[in-house]
């Protein structure tokens, strides 16, 4: 890139830095977007940069594929109902070990490597995520429905200059540990802490009019259009909970929710600090 273009990129970022500095942004990093170490490093480095320019980031992570791999290693099959993992008592132990142990601590270490100061937490720490058993037509075992978010641990960590990295196992009022979908947890956290934006990073460009055509991206959605998009059959499968999370976050006061492509290096920076935007934005 020539020197003028480089300067333009920085100048273009200025109004966005001014707008978001001092604000809180919740980023959900999905397991399918953690496809390789180079990408993971790029995401951690982007978040470290955001913190440096004064944006308070809460990073909520998934890890579905890592849980599947560990279940397979111990000879257990992964089962899902409507996108939720059927979580029996052996599985909840593995979910806790993989999310709050392996994935969370690896991301913390990687963030530190990129100069960001990070503290790893899960929903059990300081009773941050309180849940009840999710009741659906199928019995999903230890899958929780979040009833309460206690933002104090996050605020303490942020106020002390750290980036909180959150694994989404929750504490049950009944004393059990519950498994919570990471998109849903991120939306609840964003609403509770008054985040300016919720960014869901996944492994597709965004909401597509035709799921098999990456060129059919819908860039902007007013949340009132969502019921119609569902009736038309455009929103389906794994997209349904993601879109519901975006709608819920926006309706709870988060100004913008975005679904962006975690396969593109530095997609968060493009979304946050350029005129271009990327993925699908809900308002």
Ligand X SMILES: CC(=O)N[C@@H](CCC(=O)OP(=O)(O)O)C(=O)O
Can you give the binding site for ligand X, defined by CB under 6 A? 30-32, 62-64, 67, 84-85, 95, 143, 168, 179-182
**Considering the rule CB under 6 A, would residue 238 count as an interface residue with ligand ADP?**
yes
**Considering the rule CB under 6 A, would residue 227 count as an interface residue with ligand ADP?**
no
* 10: region left, alpha or beta (phi > 0 left; psi from -120 to 50 alpha): alpha
Q: Which of 26, 234, 247, 250 binds ligand ADP (CB under 6 A)?
A: 234
Q: Which of 44, 48, 64, 120 binds ligand ADP (CB under 6 A)?
A: 64
**Considering the rule CB under 6 A, would residue 63 count as an interface residue with ligand ADP?**
no
Residue 63 in marked binding region: yes
Place of tokens 């946050």: 272
Question: What CA dihedral angle connects 32, 35, 37 and 43, to 10 degrees?
Answer: -50
* DSSP letter for each residue of 13-47: HHHHHHHHTT-EEEEEE-GGG--SHHHHHHHHHHH
Q: Which of 87, 91, 106, 202 binds ligand ADP (CB under 6 A)?
A: 202
Residue 4 neighbours by CB distance under 10 Å = 8
CA atoms of 48 and 24, how far apart (whole Å): 14
Q: Based on CB atoms, which residue is closest to ligand ADP, 7 or 35?
A: 35
The answer to whether 114 touches 38, Cβ cutoff 8 Å, is no
Least distance in Å: CB of 138 to ligand X? Answer: 12
Residue ranges that bind ligand ADP, judged by CB under 6 A? 30-33, 62, 64, 183, 202-204, 207-208, 211, 234-239, 242
User: Which residues line the annotated binding site for substrate?
Assistant: 63-64, 85, 179
């Amino acid at each position: 890139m020539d020197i003028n273009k480089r300067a333009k990129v920085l100048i273009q970022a200025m109004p966005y830095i001014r707008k978001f500095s001092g604000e809180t942004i919740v980023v959900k990093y999905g397991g399918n977007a953690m496809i390789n170490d180079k990408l993971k490093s790029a995401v951690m480095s982007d978040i470290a940069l955001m913190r440096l320019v004064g944006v308070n980031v809460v990073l909520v992570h998934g890890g579905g594929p890592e849980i599947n791999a560990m279940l397979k290693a111990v000879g257990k099959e992964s089962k899902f109902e409507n996108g939720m993992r059927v979580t029996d008592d052996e599985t909840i132990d593995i979910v806790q070990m993989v999310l709050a142990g392996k994935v969370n601590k690896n991301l913390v270490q990687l963030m530190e490597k990129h100069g960001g100061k990070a503290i790893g937490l899960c929903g059990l720490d300081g009773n941050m995520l309180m849940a009840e058993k999710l009741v659906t037509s199928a019995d999903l075992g230890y899958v929780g429905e979040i009833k309460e978010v206690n933002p104090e641990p996050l605020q303490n960590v942020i106020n002390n200059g750290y980036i909180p990295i959150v694994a989404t196992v929750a504490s049950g009022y009944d004393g059990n540990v519950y498994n919570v979908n990471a998109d849903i947890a991120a939306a609840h956290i964003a609403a509770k802490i008054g985040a300016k934006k919720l960014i869901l990073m996944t492994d597709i460009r965004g909401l597509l009019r035709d799921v098999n055509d990456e060129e059919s991206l819908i860039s902007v959605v007013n949340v009132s259009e969502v019921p119609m998009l569902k009736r038309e059959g455009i929103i389906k499968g794994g997209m349904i909970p993601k879109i519901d999370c975006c709608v819920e976050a926006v309706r709870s006061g988060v100004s913008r929710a975005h679904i962006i492509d975690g396969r593109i290096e530095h997609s968060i920076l493009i979304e946050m600090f350029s005129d271009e935007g990327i993925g699908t934005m809900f308002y």
